[in-house]
Amino acid sequence: MSHSEIRVRFAPSPTGYPHLGNIRTALFNWLFARHHDGKFILRIEDTDVARKVAGAVENITESLKWLGLDWDEGPYFQSQRLPQYQEIARKLVDQGHAYLCYCSPQRLEEMRREQMRRKQPPKYDRRCRELTGQQRARLEASGVTPVVRFKTPLEEETSFHDLIRGKVTFQNDTLDDFILLKSDSYPTYHLANVVDDHLMVISHVLRADEWLSSTPRHILLYQVLDWQPPQFAHLPMILGPDKAKLSKRHGATNIIDYQRQGYLPEAMINFLSLLGWSLDDKTEFLSREELVKHFTLERVGKTAAIFNKDKLDWMNGVYLRKLTPEQFASQSTLFLQRDLPPSVKHPLDNSYISTITPLIQERAKTLGDVPRLADFFFLGDLEYDQSLLIKGTDTASATKAIETSLERLKPLEAWNTASLEDILRPLATELGLTTSKFFGLLRVAITGRTASPPLFQTMAVLGKERCLKRLNKALHEIKMQN
RNA sequence: GCCCUCAUCGUCUAGGGGACUAGGACGUCAGCCUUUCAAGCUGAAGACAGGGAUUCGAAUUCCCUUGAGGGCACCA
């Protein structure tokens, strides 16, 4: 591989399922790689045995696949590369850049509590930093398994140039002697991350802003290891509506949930790309190809973005409407099969579905809306809410309207939108009702609700038999209620 | 408490000294269309956190204040 090749990675830890923020990071890495014709690498940072979540790796790969964020290498697993980290840790100890620490977690915990209580920055007191051989031998003999800590320089400062933030500087004395290797001999994030980014020849680290303050530690590691650090770009965070870092308590943040709710991957990609990045002052819609073509770090912003679900819904609706009727029908089918009430008999008839979905397409914001918007096309008997049935009309006129409609409709042979309109529209005048009232009444009788696709089209799709049956039932209910 | 970062309409953002009476989008409101709901169209309301400084001129540069976020684990 050439030295100038762009190589980036998405490196999630399998301690949970990826949410919007994680995926936005993946997306920007992917876009950056594709834009520069580089490589996008997937690395699983599974160094925390205790917090590992079953199925997380599968969920991560599934999410990336759903969105079409294909990776060129990996997934690599850090848990399978333990010897590499251990060797580096050993080397650092040998060279005097790191040391063995025998302090117990309990002692550290107490110390932290005390520091917090005294409003001091919680920091390791470096008790083991300068142990004599004798002291070490005694601790070793007592059976304590040590951790390896980095010997952070006590003076001077560490700075680096962030591609998005510019120059960032930290005083070394504000840094801790952080742990490199845990007592279970797994590396911590800091060690594994640096070692892997170097070994995998990562050219650019594009990660969320929350990592900014650990970057000086990483820089320090690169320095003592005599490795060239990658370029860093810390992406603005995505926050929940409460302005806090996205987390479980923000609800359905797992990216796969959005798939389940019926968001389209294209819409998701487009929406996410605009969270922290923009092309110009007006472009809202960009295809995957356009995104790849135009994506640059220069146009990534610095300010954290609050996730705005309303806009996602709007955008998904636009993408839904852009689908061909055939595409929309086939995409809807899965959701209808999954979410229609159990009373609806399966399997569903595909040709019937394709007559319905055109009436739903411009009304759905997600594919998950489809079953709710279309259930009355599949249900047998409808349950009427009496207040809906007689809304805006009195019982007598409602009864008469439906009776007359039934009378005129029964002999109708050609049951289609035009013929239905030819019969029913004049009837409104005849009955002395506004079309709004008359059609509204029929709408409730036919669909069980006050809002639906256009009445005649709906009736045409439902068919004569079902419509007459529903009108009869509605009529019966009106009479029963009085 | 300490460190770091950020700061334009409710939200996502454009803006990198004069083109800004600050543009676009979502949302909101109003109107049009209309058999309802949507969709569509038109319009409206709506922001440069505050204070200094630099400059002929600042949303744009610098400083301070304030606010917000993030980090400070044998978690990543």
Which CATH number is A181's domain given?
3.90.800.10
Confidence of residue A391 (pLDDT cuts 50, 70, 90): low
The sheet with strand A98-101 has its strands ordered as: A98-101, A147-150, A179-181
Confidence of residue A394 (pLDDT cuts 50, 70, 90): confident
Q: Is residue A86 part of a domain?
A: yes
Residue A435 belongs to domain spanning: 386-479
Q: Is residue A219 part of a domain?
A: no
Using DSSP, state whether A149 is helix, strand or coil: strand
Using DSSP, state whether A332 is helix, strand or coil: helix
Q: Do A130 and A180 sit in the same domain of this protein?
A: yes
Q: Do A22 and A42 sit in the same domain of this protein?
A: yes
Q: Is residue A245 part of a domain?
A: yes
Confidence of residue A393 (pLDDT cuts 50, 70, 90): confident
Q: Do A108 and A149 sit in the same domain of this protein?
A: yes
Residue A252 is predicted with a pLDDT of: 57
A194-208 average pLDDT score: 98
pLDDT at A1 over 60: no
- Name the residues in A159-188 having a C-beta closer than 7 Å to nucleic acid strand B: 165-166, 168-171, 174, 176, 178-179, 182-184, 186, 188
Where a domain ends, among A369, A398, A432? Answer: A369
Give me chain A's average pLDDT, please.
94
A106-135 average pLDDT score: 93
Contact yes or no for A27/A69 (Cβ under 8 A)? yes
With CA of A184 and C1' of each nucleotide, the nearest comes out as B74
Q: What is the pLDDT of residues A221-236, one digit of tens each?
A: 999 999 999 999 999 9
Residue with CA nearest C1' of nucleotide B75: A48
Q: Do A399 and A460 sit in the same domain of this protein?
A: yes
Where a domain ends, among A334, A369, A404? Answer: A369
Residue with CA nearest C1' of nucleotide B1: A119
A291-319 average pLDDT score: 97
Using DSSP, state whether A203 is helix, strand or coil: coil
Determine if strand B comes within 7 Å of the CB of A127.
no
| Token pair 């472009």: residue | A283
A369-379 average pLDDT score: 97
Contact yes or no for A18/A63 (Cβ under 8 A)? yes
The yes-or-no answer on residue A248 being catalytic is yes
Q: Do A254 and A334 sit in the same domain of this protein?
A: no
A398-405 average pLDDT score: 94
With CA of A455 and C1' of each nucleotide, the nearest comes out as B35
What is the distance between the alpha carbons of residues A269 and A273, in angstroms, rounded to a whole number? 6
Q: Do A290 and A332 sit in the same domain of this protein?
A: no
pLDDT at A191 over 70: yes
Q: Do A47 and A102 sit in the same domain of this protein?
A: no
| Number of folded domains that form chain A | 4
- Name the residues in A227-286 having a C-beta closer than 7 Å to nucleic acid strand B: 236-237, 239, 243-245, 274-276, 278, 280-282, 284
Distances, alpha carbon A276 to alpha carbons A30, A156, A254, A289, in Å: 15, 34, 19, 19
Residue A381 is predicted with a pLDDT of: 83
The closest alpha carbon to A305, from A211, A210, A235, A236, belongs to A236
What CATH number is associated with residue A40? 3.40.50.620
Confidence of residue A196 (pLDDT cuts 50, 70, 90): very high
Q: Do A187 and A258 sit in the same domain of this protein?
A: no
A445-460 average pLDDT score: 96
Q: Do A58 and A120 sit in the same domain of this protein?
A: no
Residue A385 is predicted with a pLDDT of: 75
Q: Do A310 and A337 sit in the same domain of this protein?
A: no
Instruction: Give the distance, in angstroms, between residue A33 CA and nucleotide B42 C1'.
Output: 43
Distances, alpha carbon A203 to alpha carbons A38, A45, A78, A280, A297, in Å: 10, 18, 19, 27, 14
Judged by average pLDDT, the poorest of A119-133, A223-237, A243-257, A369-383 is A243-257
Q: Do A91 and A190 sit in the same domain of this protein?
A: yes
Q: Do A289 and A350 sit in the same domain of this protein?
A: no
Q: Is residue A15 part of a domain?
A: yes
Nucleotides of B under 7 A from a protein CB: 1-8, 10-16, 23-27, 35-40, 68-76
3-state secondary structure string across A279-310: CCCCCCCCCHHHHHHHCCHHHECCCCEECCHH
Strand duo A98-101 + A147-150: pairing:
antiparallel
Catalytic one among A248, A309, A345, A410? A248
A456-462 average pLDDT score: 98
What CATH number is associated with residue A394? 1.10.10.350
Q: Is residue A365 part of a domain?
A: yes
With CA of A434 and C1' of each nucleotide, the nearest comes out as B35
Q: What is the pLDDT of residues A347-361, one digit of tens each?
A: 999 999 999 999 999
Residue A248 is predicted with a pLDDT of: 75
A363-367 average pLDDT score: 98
Q: Is the dihedral of CA A10, A12, A16, A20 positive or negative?
A: negative
DSSP state of A39: E
Where a domain ends, among A195, A226, A257? Answer: A195
Contact yes or no for A161/A212 (Cβ under 8 A)? no
3-state helix, strand, coil in chain A (%, to 5): 50, 10, 35
Q: Is residue A376 part of a domain?
A: no
Q: Is residue A210 part of a domain?
A: no
Determine if strand B comes within 7 Å of the CB of A214.
yes
Residue A182 is predicted with a pLDDT of: 98
With CA of A15 and C1' of each nucleotide, the nearest comes out as B76
Q: What percent of chain A is predicted at pLDDT more than 90?
A: 89
Distances, alpha carbon A126 to alpha carbons A51, A100, A102, A449, in Å: 27, 11, 11, 71
Q: Which residues of A59-74 are buried (b: 16+ CB within 10 A; e: fewer)?
A: bbebbbebbebebeeb
pLDDT at A464 over 90: yes
Residue with CA nearest C1' of nucleotide B24: A282
Q: Is residue A353 part of a domain?
A: yes
Distances, alpha carbon A149 to alpha carbons A21, A60, A108, A188, A459, in Å: 31, 31, 13, 10, 74
Residue A386 is predicted with a pLDDT of: 67
Residue A2 is predicted with a pLDDT of: 47
Residue A272: in which H helix or E strand, if any?
helix A265-273
Contact yes or no for A127/A103 (Cβ under 8 A)? yes
